[in-house]
Amino acid sequence: MSRKFAAELIGTFWLVFGGCGSAVLAAAFPELGIGFVGVALAFGLTVLTGAYAFGGISGGHFNPAVSVGLLVAGRFPAKDLVPYVIAQVIGALIAGAVLYFVASGKAGFTPGGFASNGYGEHSPGGYSLAAALVIEIVLTFIFLLIILGATGKTAPAGFAPIAIGLALTLIHLISIPVTNTSVNPARSLGVAVFADGWALQQLWLFIVAPVVGAAIAGAVHNALLKDE
């Protein structure tokens, strides 16, 4: 378990540091040309590279919702859920702390939203709580179906990280304007603790919605899409 724990911790660190770091350190400067498309690509690349680097050890979840979805689908043992979630949360918090340290090295730094997820006045596009809830559930649901399909017995071997990374990129392209994209409770928590106070107040949605969407996906996969 120690190897799996370490792999999940480091992989989640990489996802949060790479994805949120692109938003905090690069997207804040328009002259660098990264924009929200670049941030979406950064999140996809962290999952793709992390899955190839650590997937052979831990399965490359890097996300409590993914672990829950795989558990519901019968692809992950219940005894490993809590250790995986602990590792993922620790990795995300370390990433947030390192990112905060780096970002605060610039004169005049204020954390602001610090790449946190939000709804209402804290949604990048001003979307409501209901809209945020629906999009996070739906996109996590689809994300888990893609993960389950790409890692199934009949899927082409070795290509799952590519499909999963591209899926996460597309998810961000859709939902950054709505919630700044979570679909991952650890990612949301890892930066919210360093942001302005509203981020922690709204964090509940970005824990509940991804877990609900993932659990539904696991059940739907078992009922309709499971490999024979």
Prediction pTM value: 0.95
| Residue type at 106 in one-letter notation | K
Alpha carbon distances (Å) from 13 to 61, 101, 146, 176, 222: 12, 15, 22, 20, 30
Confidence at residue 154, expressed as pLDDT on a 0 to 100 scale:
85
Domain count, the chain: 1
* pLDDT one digit per residue (tens) for the chain, 228 residues: 699 999 999 999 999 999 999 999 987 676 666 888 999 999 999 999 999 999 999 999 999 999 999 999 999 999 999 999 999 999 999 999 999 999 999 888 899 999 999 999 999 999 999 999 999 999 999 999 999 999 988 888 789 999 999 999 999 999 999 999 999 999 999 999 999 999 999 999 999 999 999 999 999 999 988 775
Residue 100, domain CATH: 1.20.1080.10
Confidence at residue 173, expressed as pLDDT on a 0 to 100 scale:
97
| Residue type at 150 in one-letter notation | A
Full domain range(s) for residue 63 = 2-225
Q: Which strand (E) or helix (H) includes residue 65?
A: helix 64-72
List the one residue out of 185, 147, 117, 145 whose CA is nearest residue 47: 147
Confidence at residue 1, expressed as pLDDT on a 0 to 100 scale:
62
